[in-house]
Amino acid sequence: MTTSDTATDAQLSALETRFEDTIARSERIEPRDWMPEGYRKTLVRQIAQHAHSEIIGMQPEGNWITRAPSLRRKAILLAKVQDEAGHGLYLYSAAETLGVSRGELTEMLIEGRQKYSSIFNYPTLSYADVGTIGWLVDGAAICNQVPLCRTSYGPYGRAMIRVCKEESFHQRQGYELLMTMMQGTDEQRAMVQESVDRFWWPALMMFGPPDEDSPNTAQSMAWGIKRNTNDDLRQRFVDMSVPQAEALGVTFPDPDLKWNAERGHHDFGEPDWEEFMQVVKGNGPCNAQRIAHRRAAHEDGAWVREAALAFADRQREAARA
Amino acid sequence: MSGQDFTAEGGHGAVPLEGVPAAKAGHGSEREWPLYEVFVRGKRGLNHVHVGSLHAADDEMALRHARDVYTRRNEGVSVWVVQARHVAASSPDEKDPMFAPSGDKVYRHPTFYSIPDDVPHM
Amino acid sequence: MSHLTPDPNESAGSAYDGLLEHHEVAGDSSQWAFGTDFEDPLAGVDTTVPADVDPAALAVYCLMLGDDALVMSHRLSEWCSRAPDLEEDIALANTALDLLGQARLLLARAAAADPGVVPALPEGSPVPAEDALAFFREAGDFRNVRLAEVPNGDFAHTVVRLLLFSSVRLALFEQLASSSDPVLSAIAVKGVKELAYHRDYAGRWFLTLAQGTDESRHRLEEALRDLWPLYPELLTTHPVEQVVSEAGVGVAPDSVASAVEVVLEQVLAVSEVDRPQGQPLAGVRGRTGRDGLHSEALSRMLAEMQVVARAHPTGRW
């Protein structure tokens, strides 16, 4: 946000103090409040990537809507993917309170200038992946998203409360699908284990590189935008997932995974950060495909959006005449 | 990896934020559907409350979109929509208009700007 | 959704538990206008087949209405993540979900009326009847009209198809609400509200595209020309429909033709679009979709829809 040219240094510092006091009191910053430009930009980047992730995240699961093996599963999956469109919409709206439009953000996404979560650059190869994404990927997302309901920026926090409320069924439906499949045939059990093997490491990578490699985390935490470190969240996720896997009857593909009584947490192996960096750089299995799909939808829809505007203009003119 | 910051929050995991633009030069290339604010009455006897925003080409489309987006879980018995630019707003915190040079900027539109019911004169 | 299977989150506590009851975070829950639970449309409805109804005819009739909804829902669901904007993506998914819900109720009713219509599966298969019908029948056993099955085109194509489809189905369901079969009646009562919205949605977009830009008008007229030959099939009464209609259980489509025509003529007039001149698409020796005679597109669509279910005929999902 730009400040008026006439603002003196003293006035500016008073604004900064007020902003920092608000954060220190754990109160929310609202769209009309003064905020440092760095805070605003960091928020735009974070909310935008979150919104993009919801929208791109429709694709891997959407891949199975037309092949869902029961009508009940088809309804659940379609409703879930639809929710993701809604969540993207809520989040784009939160970003719009910071002066950037949904159209702008969409263009930056399809031009590859803004990012989304790497997890969606992995392919979905069997119906069990629908369950695994619900369980592990949405499970990891829960660890990330619940703290965001208390994020310092009001519109983001409120969007996240609606998202979390609606998401409460997402992880459950995934786990329930896997549970049901594990009670089915041997082929189905093998399908579940294969899917878990494929998604475990990418799910761990969702929390990002180790803290010592994330230099700007401290500023985001001080501003109350980010509330937990990458490693904290990853540990919480592993500890949460292990008993769930046992109840399900599957294993995780990590020989180093074991309970450490001294720490009161599970020890676990190191994800392949080289693969992670490759996927982040655009060389993942599905990066190009996901963007091309989103670009096609956006461009194919341009004539429809334009027609609706032309129609609205015409209606307004008619009303005036 | 050093020098590149990642956010682990923001939903679905680690995404590099360094060097990522937060705005597009010259804004988007397309004229967009206007932004609307949506208010839903959850039950008879309650106030309409602000639930979020959406885009639509006109009022009628906005009402349909509101029904599809914000009442798909049986929420609400009544929906209001209003174009965001038609909402007049003030903030009790803004003591000096000199420091509010962005009153006409999009990012000050009151999306999600909820005002408690007990604030008078709002 | 069902929570019948045990979930470790139940005992350990989901990460979401209590979040929205936490006043400091979420405040008063009425502030959020969240939704309520959904109702079972068949709650309290007597599901025994009325004594004076031919169960075989009732079953086939339910397959006709159920297959229309299932196939149309499938085509709409193909839009997911591909719609012109997020709001339309959500709207199309809502419509697909409504029709999928209708399909499930109708297929289940078909199976209850005459178990003979349900394909045989291996001994001990846990696949429920609605899924056996959806995933284990061949294209020739599907009774939907061909309008529902043709592949998607552009958004105008979907708008025109949905307008024709929902105008006829709404008119049928309005009559079906007084069916002597209490189950069909309950399904129709619920469906009328949904279909009225689908028709309104399609009608409004029809007008918008007609009066939008030159391109949108051109695309709309082309879609209307393409789909028009498939429309008469929706208003033709099949012998089975005649039987159930005479029994007071079902509705003969030709009896609602004039009501549908009034609506379509209105939409065309306000949109300033001429009624197409195309002739009805022929069948084969008079057989069309209702007889199980389909376009080439249906078996291809079903190959995709059924692939996972058929690979696991004794699977649990």
Q: What is the pLDDT of residues A176-219, one digit of tens each?
A: 999 999 999 999 999 999 999 999 999 999 988 887 776 666 67
What proportion of chain C, given as a percentage, has pLDDT over 70?
Answer: 87
Answer yes or no: do A216 and B5 touch at CB < 8 A. yes
Confidence of residue B5 (pLDDT cuts 50, 70, 90): low
C20 touches A161 (CB < 8 A): yes
Nearest to C119 by CA among C135, C104, C100: C135
- What is the average pLDDT across A37-60? 93
Contacts of B5 in chain A (CB under 8 A): 214-217
Segment among A2-6, C39-43, C55-59, C300-304 with least mean pLDDT: A2-6
The tokens of C274 are what?
Answer: 């001429």
Task: Tell whether C270 is within 8 A of chain A (Cβ).
Answer: no
What pLDDT shows up at residue A95?
94
Query: At residue A222, what are phi and psi to the nearest 5 degrees?
Result: -65, -35
* CA pair distance A316, A310, nearest whole angstrom: 10
The helix/strand/coil state of C250 is coil
Residue B69 and residue C90: Cβ atoms within 8 Å?
yes
**Range in A243-252, A287-296, B63-72 with the lowest mean pLDDT:** B63-72
Report d(CA A160, CA A9) in Å as an integer: 36
CA dihedral A301, A306, A309, A310 (to 10 degrees): -140
Residue C316 maps to a domain: no
Q: Residue B113: pLDDT above 50?
A: no
pLDDT of residue B57: 95
Under the banding of pLDDT at 50, 70 and 90, the label for residue A148 is confident
Least confident segment among A79-93, A153-167, A273-287, B95-109: B95-109
Identify the residue among C71, C86, C118, C307 best suited for mutation to test binding to A, counting A beta carbons within 10 A and taking the highest: C86
| Residue C209 placed within a domain | yes
Residues in chain B closer than 8 A to C30 (CB atoms): 42-43, 46, 49
> For residue B80, what are the β-bridge partners?
B39
Residue with tokens 């360094």: B18
Considering only CA atoms, which of C198, C210, C208, C211 is closest in space to residue C163? C198
Nearest CA in chain A to C10: A172
3-state secondary structure of A255: coil
Q: How many other CB atoms are found less than 10 A from the CB of residue B34?
A: 17
Tokens of A133: 């994404």
Residue with tokens 């969540």: A87
State the Cα–Cα distance between residues C256 and C169, nearest whole angstrom.
10
Percent of chain A topping pLDDT 70: 95
Q: Do A144 and B29 touch (CB under 8 A)?
A: no
* Lowest mean pLDDT segment, chosen from A33-42, A85-94, C22-31: C22-31
The answer to whether the beta carbons of residues C173 and C195 sit under 8 Å apart is yes
Q: What is the mean pLDDT of residues A66-73?
A: 97
Chain B contact present for A122, CB below 8 A: no
pLDDT at position B4, please? 52
Q: C91 — contact with chain B (CB < 8 Å)? A: yes
Residue C20 lies in a domain: no
pLDDT given at position A169 = 77
Q: For residue A148, give the amino acid letter.
A: L
Chain B touching partners, 3 or more CB pairs below 8 A? A, C
Which pLDDT tens digit goes with each residue over C105-138?
999 999 999 999 999 999 999 999 999 999 999 9
Phi, psi (deg, nearest 5) at residue A29? -90, 135
Instruction: Report if residue C27 sits inside a domain.
Output: no
- The reply to whether C280 falls in a domain is no
Helix A71-96 / helix C86-113 crossing angle, nearest 10 deg: 160
Alpha-carbon distance of A226 to A221, in angstroms, equals 5
Residue C45: its pLDDT value, please?
79
Query: What average pLDDT does the segment C274-281 reach?
Result: 93
C138 in a structural domain: yes
Q: Is the pLDDT of residue A281 over 50?
A: yes
Residue C91 is nearest to which of B51, B55, B68, comparing CB atoms?
B68
What distance in Å separates residue C208's CA from the closest CA in chain B? 10
State the nearest Cα–Cα gap between A305 and chain C, in angstroms: 7
Average pLDDT (B23-33) is 77
Instruction: Please name the residues in contact with C249: beta carbons below 8 A apart, sequence gap of 6 or more.
Output: C50, C53, C58, C61, C179, C180, C181, C184
Please give the Cα distance from A78 to A66 (Å, whole number). 9
| Interchain contact, C204 vs B61, CB within 8 Å | yes
Helix (H) or strand (E) holding A2: none
Q: Does the pLDDT value for residue B100 go beyond 70?
A: no
Contact A158 B114 (CB under 8 A): yes
CA terminus-to-terminus distance, chain A: 41
Domain range for residue C235? Answer: 50-275+285-294
Taking CB atoms and an 8 Å limit, are C87 and B56 in contact across chains?
A: yes
Could you give the percent of chain B with pLDDT greater than 70?
52
Length of chain C as a residue count: 317
CATH code for the domain of C120: 1.20.1260.10
Q: How far apart are alpha carbons C251 and C58 in whole angstroms?
A: 11
Q: Which of A252-256, A260-264, C51-55 has the weakest average pLDDT?
A: C51-55
C208 vs A184, A185, A308: nearest CB: A308
pLDDT higher than 70, residue C186: yes
- Which residues in B lie closer than 8 A to residue A118 (C-beta atoms)? 13-15
Domain ranges, ordered by start, for chain B: 33-86
| Whole-number pLDDT of residue B112 | 29
Residues belonging to chain B:
122
What is the complex's ipTM, to 2 decimals? 0.92
Residues A82, C135: C-beta atoms closer than 8 Å: no
- If you write DSSP's letter for every residue of chain B in order, what string do you get? -TT--EES-SSS--EE-TT--SS-TT--SSPPPPEEEEEEE-STTSPEEEEEEEE-SSHHHHHHHHHHHHSTTS--SEEEEEEGGG-----TT---GGG-TTTTSGGGS-TT----TT-TT-
Number of domains in chain C: 1
Confirm whether C312 is domain-assigned.
no
Report pLDDT for B36.
Answer: 95
Return phi, psi of residue B34, to 5°. Answer: -60, 155
pLDDT for the residue A215: 60
Nearest by CB to A97, from B20, B100, B109: name it: B109
| Mean pLDDT for the stretch of residues B11-26 | 69
Please check whether residue A194 is in contact with residue A128, taking contact to mean a CB–CB distance below 8 angstroms. Answer: yes
CB A248 within 8 A of CB A193: no
Q: How confident is the model at residue A1 (pLDDT cuts 50, 70, 90)?
A: very low
pLDDT beyond 50 at A147: yes
- Please tell me the distance in Å from B80's CA to the nearest CA on chain A: 17
Residue A321 confidence class, pLDDT cut points 50, 70, 90:
confident
Q: Which of A70, A78, A173 sits opposite C93 (nearest CB)?
A: A78
pLDDT band at C21 (very low <50, low <70, confident <90, very high): very low
Class (C level, CATH) for B33-86 = alpha beta
- Does residue C100 sit within a domain? yes
Res. C2: pLDDT tops 80? no
Give the model confidence (pLDDT) of A285-295 as tens digits: 999 999 999 99
